[in-house]
Structures are given as structure tokens and as C-alpha cells.
Amino acid sequence: QVQLVESGGGLVKPGGSLRLSCAASGFTFSDHYMGWIRQAPGKGLEWVSYISHSGFTIYYVDSVKGRFTISRDNAENSLYLQMNSLRAEDTAVYYCARDGGYRSYDFWGQGTLVTVSS
């Protein structure tokens, strides 16, 4: 069965960096687009980033452009989100999700909490 398992969250000071990972299994990872979506405590969902199956096409929400970098390693069935220059407003649970194309996000990980605080 499809599984997505995020890791790498934690407490970081403003201006710091963190790298999130998402380990995928149960499907052919290299065939699928992937994405990151976040949810601030008590708030709604916010789409963060997209990466094509090859990694050649990437999109970001404006608020993270220039600070976050999405990447993937198809040989390792893994998705990553490098987060630099972190701000308090980046505090959220970060979900990786499989982009099912016409089905949008059909599978989600359990999420990893990132807390940016001094």
C-alpha cells in the first residue's frame, strides 16, 4: 500500500535551517509528481511546493520562494524540502503528498511539525 513518511521536523530559531524528508513506498515513486502542503497550528491548509516526476519542473508559493528548495531522489524514493531563513510564520505541520494528476493529492503522509521560535 502507498506510504509516505515525513521526518526532519523540530524546533529551530528564526533564521535557521531545516531539511524535511519524505520516504515513499508502495508505488512507483519516479512516475509521480509530488508536493508539500503545510498547516499552521489551528489554521487551514496551504500549498507550498510542487516537483515533477523528473525534478525538472518546480513551483513554490510566493511566501517561500528564495528560501525553500524542493528536490527528489528517485533512486532513493525520497522527497525533500530544504528550508532556509526560517520565520515564525513558517511554523506548521508539513505534509508531503502524492500528486495524482487529475486526482490531485491522493495520498498524504502523517506530517512533521516545524516550530520556528527563539
Partner 1 sequence: DIQMTQSPSTLSASVGDRVTITCRASQSISNWLAWYQQKPGKAPNLLIYKASSLESGVPSRFSGSGSGTEFTLTISSLQPDDFATYYCQQYNSYPYTFGQGTKLEIK
* Least distance (Å) between residue 62 CB and partner 1: 7
Handedness of CA 78, 51, 66, 117 (dihedral sign): negative
User: Cβ contacts of residue 16 below 8 Å, gap of 6+?
Assistant: 86, 116
Longest alpha-carbon distance in the chain: 42
Residue span binding partner 1 (CB under 8 A) among the ranges 7-15, 16-24, 76-84, 106-114: 106-114
Which residues between 5 and 34 bind partner 1 (CB under 8 A)?
none
Binding positions for partner 1, rule: CB under 8 A: 35, 37, 44-47, 50, 59-62, 95, 100, 102-106, 108-111
